[in-house]
A and B are shown apart, each in its own frame.
Chain A
């Protein structure tokens, strides 16, 4: 485990176990995720990294057979306690998905959707939309056609729209679930730039299949294997001198 973080800890997970029916998918995961930095989860398919990510905004609640034990504190608050309002939690912990999933409405309405359901007035929308699109590095490309359907955008633009949409509800944490796996290299690099910019204000957790991506953008990296958190350290440490044999084998491409 890394030493105390300079910006403090955002997410503390203690002994988290998760079952899908009888399948014990995550074993005793404990991890402290630092504030205002990028933390990457890497590991082979099926290792539980996406499942773990979805524990952090309780997206797994949607799966009826899923059972979770353990503690997850975000900013000191236990998100699995009975008093937690899931709706409020998801407002604080935003998520960007693997495949871009803009709503079938205009660009403007996609961004204003979140703020509107959280009760902000129509008058505030133009400013919110503009700010969100600027932070998502999409404003220049779409400022003259906000009323066009979001589905007319390219894949990369759609994903940046989804990021902007998440930013519009002003979260503290943003979870990225393999955000670039459906995108070309140029779109990927744009999104990486956005993520690096965002970490100044937000805590970022990103699941990625792409180890170069983890190395490029993350400050800390966690390696998952078959439901276990094998190793978690500063990214440089993980890639240059991993402590565990399994980590080394994975990052040097011996399996995956």
Chain B
């Protein structure tokens, strides 16, 4: 083999190896996570894990009920979505279709800077500003509620949703918008009936990624939601403290003896979290592909 060919092969293998490392790392992570989670069920029945309504990991007997934590994550995430999706899409439409270019050129980078703020800073802001605000305005016993977490997570998901939806909306061909306007539709009819549907796959992907970010977020929710592991009602649970799956792992992992049931229970929760985000990603991809096909 010539020198050149060896070099070519070498570079090729190097790039292949880099790709392989990612896949192997992910696989190892999965195996590790699921194995340690699964070990819980040697001593504790799966059915109890899934249906027990109590999370009392240090009581006697122990209760490792997933439900309060799972529903805690769900209620905080739903709140965040209700808050951030309409706001995010509206902002994206404003930036790409309505704002005068000067304003758009300020707004876009500013929303992207929001994404770069560390989550602990958001948490701190939430704790100092939003928690007292929620407590005083709604006359609640504590401001550390699911609602507070939802608002903070919503703010944190906004940059993702805005920036990705904006990209999707601006990439709708100009010809399509002109075609609609030329038929005598108003600016708004064009946005609502042509531009937004044509950008739907990108917008859905943006929303899904926003949700993914909200579910996986740990530090901020831990700081503002009060962390009490009770099953939240809906919608009353929004105004009470909750504890999410992520916060539970972060709070308790430092204190459990390695290899104990409690330790494995936290891994089991981690597995549930992983599966949830995995499903969300699959759904996002499915939507994306489905609409691309129709287009």
Contacts and interface: CB of A to CB of B under 8 A. Distances in A.
Contacts of A165: 179, 183
Contact of A118 (B179, B182, B184, B295): B184
Given A87-B185, A94-B183, A113 B178 contact: no
Given A101-B173, A104-B198, A62 B183 contact: no
Contacts of A90: 181-184
A151 interface: yes
A118 B184 CA distance: 8
Interface residues of B, number: 21
B189 A117 contact: yes
B295 A97 contact: no
A152 B10 CA distance: 44
A97 B183 CA distance: 12
Contacts, number: 71
B182 A117 contact: no
Contacts of B197: 104-105
B142 interface: no
Interface in A92-150: 92, 94-95, 97, 99, 101-105, 113-114, 117-118, 149
B6 interface: no
Contacts of A64: 100-101
B194 A103 contact: yes
A95 B182 contact: yes
Q: How large is the interface on A (under 10, 10 to 19, 20 to 34, 35 or more residues)?
A: 20 to 34
A108 to B, nearest CB: 14
A117 B183 contact: yes
A97 B294 contact: no
Interface in A154-171: 162, 165-166, 169
Nearest to A91: B184
Contacts of B193: 113, 117
Interface of A: 57, 59, 62, 64, 87-92, 94-95, 97, 99, 101-105, 113-114, 117-118, 149, 151, 162, 165-166, 169
The 7 closest A-B pairs by CB, nearest first: A91-B184, A101-B175, A95-B182, A114-B183, A90-B184, A101-B179, A104-B295
8 contacts: A92-B184, A94-B182, A95-B178, A103-B176, A103-B180, A105-B197, A117-B183, A166-B183
